Structure 1
Amino acid sequence: MVVAPACPSCGSNRLYKDGLRYLSDGSSVQRWLCRKCGYRFTDPNYKAKTGWRNLPSGLNLPSGLYYSCQGNDDPDGRVPSATEAVQTLAEVSQEEKRAAGATKTCQVDVKGKIFDYIWHLKKLGRCDGTIKGYRQKLMQMLNEGVNLLDPEAVKEYLTQKNWCEGSKFYASIVYDGFARFLGLTWQKPDYKPSRKIPFIPTEQELDQLIACTGKNLSALLQLLKETALRVGEALSLKWTDIDLERNVIILNHPEKGSEPRIFKVTAALITKLNQLTKTSEYVFKNHLQQSVAQNFRIQRKRIAQKLGNPRLNNITFHTFRHWKATIEYAKTRDILHVMQFLGHKNIKNTLLYTQLIKFEKEDDFYCAAAKTSNEAKELIESGFEYICTTPENIMLFRKRK
């Protein structure tokens, strides 16, 4: 029978058995817990063996003693394994917190550099649309965990993204400006986006959208149809830019470095514009492009479902510009005229529209005849193009559908 020793702390003999402790020599020793003071100890009179009786298990190897703290020959000098484990977990937790804190600090620093770069673009005179696009793209990459201070990490990110060449090309341009602003050296990837042939609807489809939308949006679409303005240019028009008596609209603040332009518009468009409320210096009170575009998408979807024509969903604000440029070239066959009408500075951007009329059919036009000069005048004002005069002195006109 094992005789319980006295508690080394209080001298009490009222003890609990508290399991066995296994030593490095393969033996075990009884642990005791004092019922009076709660002190836990082993028999202080225990003598460790001088030799091995059995080989120790893998847990009691010297390499494992640091973590398990079992097998210590000196019962009084033993460090509790729970204490060591808690210390180890605490160290790991502190390391993780330091790493997380460093990552968070890095993201905050990069975000600050992004705002500095945006302000730099603002001081350079970049338009709000360009600045907004740059900020959104940089923040997208940052939020997806890309280290914007490491150009190689950005290259790897662009390689792994399932984007088209155009999107990757734009992202590389955005980061190239950001890297140059920070003084980083990198080699921009060689993405080569291909320009796609734009969708060209019929005039009837454009007129359906104009007729079925609300008053403000209808006036905007009619303006885009007649002038081929970019939607940002149209939304920035002020009432002082419109000559209501001569039916003239002047664009003095074009986008994308284009040339200023002047347009002769129809009386129908002037009537639509006059019906708008004049509560602001801008023609269109809500001149925020994002909200106007969202409103257009909602109404376009409704009209396409109502008319059963899914092609209408392919029409965007810029489609009106493509359509007008194609019609102007079809009428005049003068590429320089179209270039000036659109405000292009490079004729390469205008040559695209010469490809869009190579597949014309006879049924792509409305045909009309005029016997008198007044009838011919009305047809020309309606957009018809003179073709020829028959032997019966009847003038023939046509107009693209």
Structure 2
Amino acid sequence: MAEKKTPSKVRGVYEREPGSGIWWIRFTEAGKIRREKVGRRSDAVALYQKRKAEVRAGIKLPSNLRQRPITIAELGEEAKQWYKDHDKRDLRTFTGRMDLIIKELGNRAADTVKPKEIDDWLSSHPRWSPATKNRYKSVLSKAYQLALRSDKVSRNPVRSVEHRNEGDGRIRYLRPEEEISLKAVIARRCPGHIPALVFALHTGLRKSEQFGLRWTDVDMSRKVIIVPHPKNNRSREITMNETCFTVIQDLYKNRPDDDRIFRSDRYKKRPIIDIKKAFESAVKEAKIEDFTWHSLRHTFITRLVQAGVDLRTVQYLAGHQSLAMTGRYAHFAPALNQAAVRRLDQVVVD
């Protein structure tokens, strides 16, 4: 096997830390030595040639070519501000995850971090599920993407971190007897949360989608909810059934203003930001095991499939990006699958 050829040295192009993958250039302008951090070797070679040509042409270069490397903390703070400025629906979730990244990796110079270090950091949290690790990976990658746009970093190392296999995941849904118990506990502990619970069971919205809804997202005349996607500019329409519409009508009559739909009945009608603590307490008292607010979404989708709704329609109502994601629920309709294969009994081949 032929040995790997070592790239020939280029004058003025070097790695400050051998093996780091971060390349610099050094050249002279008006008798002064100038240095720039670049990133990849090929980019460094190209920039070095460009700078030499500019010096020969007498073009005056900016005085701040050698800037202090930006840290992951600075990267993260700018990403959080970008999310806030663009009114992203998942701002709170993004901010929470980014705060942890800043706490644990914030002092690192962003351009010096290698993909393996990011992968090792994710692996250092054994209690995180593969899905959770992928979410943190996405948050950090977004910060790098935003920094790349403004030339504050030379590359996005997160792109080379392998996506973890999340598997099919266990689908936990609410059984009828559990729903009765849960509603009874919530009605006693915090009755103002009953509308939010019923709404979740009949729309299947993600928590960030539901508690980010404003009255401007509701078309009362058409009985439709316009759901902005939290991760992009696309939206989908959810047609309300009678149960859901009744909940919305009651909330509309007693609304304090035209902003957020779901409000706390204990804290001066402030918008509900996160119902997790109250919901977990109610679930525990109702003696329902391994159940979270997100499981209400699983319940909505499961019940649609069990009712015989075709998977394409379920995909749209759930807001799944792919049919494969919806297909995880197909086994909840065994009668429909049996009816489908029985049609082959009618095929007669001579």
Q: 1:267 to 1:339 in 2, by over 3 A?
A: closer
Partner residue of 2:154?
A: 183
Instruction: Give 2:291's match in structure 1, choosing from 281, 301, 315.
Output: 315
Match of 2:180 in 1: 207
Displacement after TM superposition at 1:334 (Å):
1.1
Residue aligned with 1:289, SS: coil
Change (3 A) 1:161 1:295: closer
For structure 2, which runs of at least 5 residues remain unmatched after alignment? 1-67, 148-152, 264-269, 337-350
Supply the distance in 1 between the matched residues of 2:290 and 2:196 (Cα, whole angstroms). Answer: 18
* Cα distance in 2, alignment partners of residues 333 and 235 from structure 1: 26
How far apart, in 2, do the equivalents of 1:129 and 1:158 lie?
21
Distance 1:237 1:178 in 2: 26
Give the corresponding residue for 2:164.
192
Deviation at 1:169, TM superposition (A): 2.9
Deviations 1:236-279 (CA, angstroms, capped at 9, x unpaired): 33345556687x24224343446422323225861585167321
Which runs of no fewer than 5 residues in structure 1 stay unpaired?
A: 1-105, 361-401
The answer to whether the 8 A contact 1:249-1:265 is kept is no
Q: 68, 73, 78: which one pairs with 1:111?
A: 73
Q: Does 1:251 align with 2:226?
A: yes
Q: What CA deviation, in whole Å up to 9, does each residue of 1:135-191 have, x standing for no partner?
A: 224223236x76655313434433444344333333333333334422235362213
Contact 1:222–1:269 (CA under 8 A) maintained in structure 2: no
> Which residue does 2:39 correspond to in 1?
none
TM-score w.r.t. structure 2 length? 0.58
State the SS of the aligned residue for 1:132: helix
In 1, Cα distance between equivalents of 2:122 and 2:212: 35
Native 8 Å contact 1:209 1:300 kept in 2: yes
Q: Does residue 283 of structure 1 match 2:261?
A: yes
Q: TM-score, normalised by structure 1?
A: 0.52
- Encode CA deviations 1:210-233: one digit per residue, 9 max, x unaligned: 233122211100111112122222
Aligned residue pairs: how many? 245
Identity value in percent = 16
2:118 paired with 1:154: yes
- When residues 175 and 345 of structure 1 are mapped into structure 2, their CA distance, relative to the original with a 3 A threshold, is closer
Q: Which residue of 2 aligns with 1:170?
A: 135
User: Which residue identity is paired with 2:256?
Assistant: T
1:261 and 1:296 map into 2 onto residues whose CA distance is 27
Higher RCO (C-alpha under 8 Å, 6+ residues apart): 2
Does structure 1 retain, via aligned residues, the 8 Å contact 2:70–2:110? no
Larger radius of gyration: 1
1:333-382 deviation digits (Å, cap 9, x = unpaired) = 5111212222334212211110334499xxxxxxxxxxxxxxxxxxxxxx
